[in-house]
Chains A and B, each alone.
Chain A
């Protein structure tokens, strides 16, 4: 158990809909990262938040957005969903997120299926 929690574990929705995925980082960690894992693209970094502020952006679509709240939990919002958005979405956390020695620990993921 990494200490990172994600809800829900599974999510099934229809095209055009909007969903929210939730992540709670390990106790004491200030940074949260979101990743998408699909069969064709593999694991792709989406976005990082540190202590409530966006710190780094990866391959995140404009239809997707995230935020980190004062209690440090984070939410990933996916809107206007398309079939291709079906994937596993992972959250990871690290203590700092500002140094190359800062280790990222992954949650169990949310499996999103768009029908």
Chain B
């Protein structure tokens, strides 16, 4: 079975450019999570969706960040405009229905903003 799929795996962009990260959750999973990992702040939850609806976006750093989940099999995290401090590894994770609580993580997207 396919796990969580993220693309691209690596992204290098210049400050001010728009960046879009993509995620395909595990089929049948109802919850999807976006995390950011940096050396300074560790793993931070940015936003999560349940049944395609955003439930909690309190972790989104600022208005430059936005996330969408147009259907059960696809989500995007967009940064516009990007800044060097956005450089991090961004993980997408998905979780089965409410009776089960493990989150399964994708391989991550390493973003470098120069």
A in complex with B:
no
